[in-house]
Amino acid sequence: MHRAARIEDWLHERRETFARKRGHRATVIPFSGYGSTGWVRILCRVLLAKPAKPGKTVRTKRPRSDGRDAGIRGWRSFTSVPVKNVMVTIEIDGQTHLVRADRGGVVDTVVPVHLAPGWHTARLSAESSAVQDAPILVVAPAVRHGIVSDVDDTVMVTTLPRPLLAAWNTFVLDEHARVPTPGMAVLLERLAAATPGSPVIYLSTGAWNVAPTLSRFLSRNLYPAGALLLTDWGPTHDRLFRSGKEHKRENLRRLAQEFPDMSWILIGDDGQHDETIYSEFQQEFPGSVAAVAIRQLSPSEAVLAGGRSQASVAGTADTPWVYGPDGSSLANQLAEHGLL
């Protein structure tokens, strides 16, 4: 294991010991998952948190499945201690499965189960924690199109230098102040409505710590419900820093293999990497790409993003690539190709 990973594990072990002495208990933060009629992908994270005080309730307008009710909010998600290697109980369709969280407290596992297409609920718990509900979309075999969308500068406008983006979004900016990209929520909603039951995947290089905040932002701005595929900050077992680009490549390959008969509409921006990653994916899995929609950043946004990608792709009649500054422009072009 890389030295940085060993140091990180040592630090987490010390913090976990201290937190447990202060009475903190394991808490499961559930995330939306997806699957087919014979399997589902379960996603969650286990952290240590203070138990709720007797008689204290969390004031919320509606039930949430993004972790807010679990007592982990905002910047506390980054200061909370992950519980590594903890056993997590998954209950779904009357079946119980036990899986082990990774060294960052993250569970990303596939569970065999036979479910009808539509939304279902998995019940998750760890140690003696309260049971948390995770929504799961089961995709029907007949569904032929899915949607994959980037997040930063695609569904939300960041207007920050990339090196400062993660810290600002996590520690400073409330989700109420985040700015949605004009027309993008309508575009994704129309794409999802064009193929009922199609999965919507939000693929980002952001950390799992921001998932609750990001889920609330998407819901508040009327983006269609979907699974978040984020990553875990810090070193891996063999390298000092995780690769955001490789995270996207691996998950796109996984989606192509999990749904071999489905083609995806890929949505991103022209700030550095999305065009290259999507082009590589199309070359590797040509039958898995229905279209690519790239939001063009404004000149100031491009400067903050570190420049524009030079990998502009013309596309073909069967697999169009469309470019535009907002969701409305992209929607009009996709409609011309019969995708809306």
Are 69 and 204 within one domain? no
Q: What is the pLDDT of residue 165?
A: 56
* Per-residue model confidence (pLDDT) at position 234: 55
Two tokens at 11? 């630090």
What is the structure's pLDDT at 166? 52
CA gap 220, 242 in Å, rounded? 30
Tens-binned pLDDT, residue by residue, of the chain (340 aa): 556 556 666 676 677 666 666 767 888 999 999 999 999 999 999 988 777 665 554 443 333 334 344 444 444 555 678 888 899 999 999 999 999 998 888 999 999 999 999 999 999 999 888 899 999 999 999 999 999 999 988 998 865 555 555 555 555 555 555 789 999 999 999 999 999 999 999 999 888 878 888 888 899 999 999 999 998 765 454 444 556 789 999 999 999 999 999 999 999 998 768 899 999 999 999 999 999 999 988 766 655 555 555 556 667 778 999 999 999 999 999 999 999 8
The Cβ of residue 261 has, within 10 Å, a number of other Cβ atoms equal to 10
Question: How many alpha carbons lie under 13 Å from residue 32 in its C-beta half-sphere?
Answer: 24
Per-residue pLDDT, 19: 67
Given this model, what pLDDT does residue 129 score? 84
CATH of the domain at 64: 2.60.40
Give residue 300's pLDDT: 62
Q: What is the pLDDT, as a whole number, of residue 320?
A: 94
Order of all β-strands in the sheet with 263-269: 227-231, 200-207, 145-149, 263-269, 289-295, 321-324
Boundary-marking domain end, from 138, 160, 182: 138
d(CA 253, CA 40) in angstroms, rounded, equals: 17
Which residue pairs, CB below 8 angstroms and at least 24 apart, start in 89-94? 89/124, 89/125, 89/126, 90/42, 90/122, 90/123, 90/124, 91/122, 91/123, 91/124, 91/131, 92/40, 92/42, 92/120, 92/121, 92/122, 92/123, 92/136, 93/120
Same domain, yes or no, for 302 and 176?
yes
Same domain, 167 and 69: no
> Which residues form the domain of 81?
3-138
Assess whether 277 and 239 both reside in one domain. yes
| 74 and 129 share one domain | yes
| CA distances for 116 relative to 11, 35, 67, 208, 291, angstroms | 44, 11, 26, 29, 28
Residues 122, 172, single domain; the answer is no
pLDDT at residue number 20: 64
Any long-range contacts for 98-105 (C-beta under 8 Å, 24+ apart)?
Answer: 99/42, 101/45, 101/46, 101/126, 102/232, 103/5, 103/9, 103/12, 104/45, 104/208, 104/232, 104/234, 105/45, 105/46, 105/47
Q: Are residues 178 and 131 in the same domain?
A: no
200-207 and 118-126 strand pairing: unpaired
Does residue 281 share a domain with residue 134?
A: no
pLDDT at 9: 66
The domain that holds 268 is classified in CATH as 3.40.50.1000
Indicate whether 150 and 67 sit together in one domain: no
- The domain total for the chain is 2
233 and 183 assigned to the same domain: yes
Single out the residue in 118, 138, 158 at which a domain terminates: 138
Angstrom distance (rounded) from CA 251 to CA 75: 26
Mark which of 72, 104, 138 sits at the end of a domain. 138
| Same domain for 188 and 46 | no
Specify whether 153 is located in the same domain as 287: yes
